[in-house]
């Protein structure tokens, strides 16, 4: 904790004497002044990040080896929490749902926003309006988005009204455990489309037009050009999007909480890991130690996801 505050930070390196002597006196004074004040400038940021991010992170890891509860100090219990996790059906349900979320949402969010970016890339009249409009779901808060879709997918909501009007039967999107989870995934994808579209747009701006023209001259069709020109050019961005979206998907909370309810749908079958942390660790009898153990699993999986994405990136390079 202390090591992250400005006070005990390492002293700044002294500039080399030879250069000091060679520099005019004014410059020497500037350098010295520029060395001392930055610690003062960085102090608020270091303090906030230290107290509210890094310290809670360390104490989460420490708590995962104790039986601490809300308002009750815990004692060291070794790996007991993790052993209990292995026999906890709810934990496996949460792990299954969060993992499934990654497997479905990530491919969709890597590919669809890229296609969307290609669609809005061409400067045609009104394109700015379309870009902004596609970004609107990103701006809306997740609670608003969740409630909009709860109403859209309701037994008597718009989607079912349309399905009925065209002669298909009603679908209980919000009553079946699997349909609920997939509906939540669809909402996550819908909300993320615009966000990743913008990231891809920035990347596409750097693709030289000559490449496309050359490919077209060689007789490559649009699909072929997409695969052999566009995809290689934005590959590093696709990796970035995969990394961002996979970590976010694994930590999903709000969409499922709002659509399936606090208890996670029928018999809790739609609970995700973060929902489990929230449910286990809060309240007067909250089991801080046990919830922290689940958090540690989330940390580990997050790191693993990052490494997987980076490795996939390196493999492609060879």
Residue 90: how many CB atoms within 10 A of its CB? 18
Q: Write the CB contacts of 197 (distance below 8 Å, at least 6 apart in sequence).
A: 113, 116, 117, 120, 131, 134, 135
What minimum distance in Å lies between the beta carbon of 251 and other proteins?
A: 4
Q: Nearer to other proteins by C-beta: 24 or 318?
A: 24
Q: Nearer to other proteins by C-beta: 135 or 211?
A: 135
* Longest CA span, the chain: 87
- φ and ψ at 155, to 5 degrees? -50, -40
Q: Nearer to other proteins by C-beta: 157 or 318?
A: 157
Q: Nearer to other proteins by C-beta: 25 or 318?
A: 25
Q: What DSSP designation does 2 have?
A: G
What minimum distance in Å lies between the beta carbon of 34 and other proteins?
A: 5
**Whole-number Å distance between alpha carbons of 64 and 277:** 12
Q: Nearer to other proteins by C-beta: 45 or 232?
A: 45
What minimum distance in Å lies between the beta carbon of 311 and other proteins?
A: 18
List C-alpha distances in Å: 130 to 133, 136, 187, 203.
5, 10, 20, 19
What minimum distance in Å lies between the beta carbon of 12 and other proteins?
A: 4
Q: Write the CB contacts of 47 (distance below 8 Å, at least 6 apart in sequence).
A: 5, 6
Q: Nearer to other proteins by C-beta: 85 or 199?
A: 199
What minimum distance in Å lies between the beta carbon of 316 and other proteins?
A: 20
What minimum distance in Å lies between the beta carbon of 80 and other proteins?
A: 18
Q: Nearer to other proteins by C-beta: 6 or 104?
A: 6
Q: Nearer to other proteins by C-beta: 286 or 318?
A: 286
Closest among 124, 113, 103, 128 to 185, alpha carbons compared: 103
What minimum distance in Å lies between the beta carbon of 136 and other proteins?
A: 6
3-state percent helix, strand, coil for the chain, nearest multiple of 5: 75, 0, 25
What minimum distance in Å lies between the beta carbon of 144 and other proteins?
A: 5
State the angle between helix axes of 127-139 and 89-121 in degrees (0 to 180), rounded to the nearest 10: 170
**Whole-number Å distance between alpha carbons of 87 and 71:** 26
Contact call for residues 266 and 243 (beta carbons, < 8 A):
no
């Amino acid at each position: 904790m202390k090591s992250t505050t400005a006070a005990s930070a390492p002293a700044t390196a002294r500039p080399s004497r030879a250069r000091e002597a060679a520099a005019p006196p004014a410059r020497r004074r500037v350098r010295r002044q520029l060395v001392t004040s930055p610690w003062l400038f960085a102090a608020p940021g270091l303090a906030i990040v230290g107290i509210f991010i890094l310290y809670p992170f360390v104490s989460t890891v420490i708590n995962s080896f104790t039986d601490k509860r809300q308002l009750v100090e815990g004692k060291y219990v070794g790996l007991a929490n993790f052993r209990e996790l292995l026999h906890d059906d709810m934990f496996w349900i949460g792990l299954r749902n969060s993992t499934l979320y990654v497997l479905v949402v990530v491919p969709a969010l890597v590919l669809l926003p890229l296609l969307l970016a290609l669609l809005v890339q061409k400067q045609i009249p009104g394109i700015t309006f379309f870009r902004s409009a596609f970004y609107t779901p990103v701006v809306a808060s997740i609670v608003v988005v969740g409630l909009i879709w709860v109403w859209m997918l309701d037994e008597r909501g718009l989607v079912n009204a349309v399905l009925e009007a065209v002669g298909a039967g009603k679908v209980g999107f919000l009553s079946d455990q699997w349909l609920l989870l997939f509906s939540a995934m669809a909402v996550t994808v819908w909300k993320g489309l615009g966000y990743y579209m913008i990231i891809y747009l920035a990347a596409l701006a750097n693709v030289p037009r000559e490449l496309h023209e050359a490919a077209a001259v060689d007789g490559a069709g649009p699909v072929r050009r997409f695969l052999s020109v566009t995809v290689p050019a934005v590959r590093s961005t696709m990796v970035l999007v995969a990394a961002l979206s996979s970590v976010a998907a694994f930590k999903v909370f709000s969409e499922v909480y709002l659509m399936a309810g606090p208890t996670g749908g029928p018999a809790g079958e739609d609970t995700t890991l973060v929902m489990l942390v929230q449910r286990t660790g809060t309240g007067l009898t909250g089991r801080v130690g046990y919830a922290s153990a689940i958090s540690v699993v989330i940390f580990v999986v997050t790191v693993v996801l990052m490494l997987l994405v980076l490795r996939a990136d390196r493999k492609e390079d060879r």
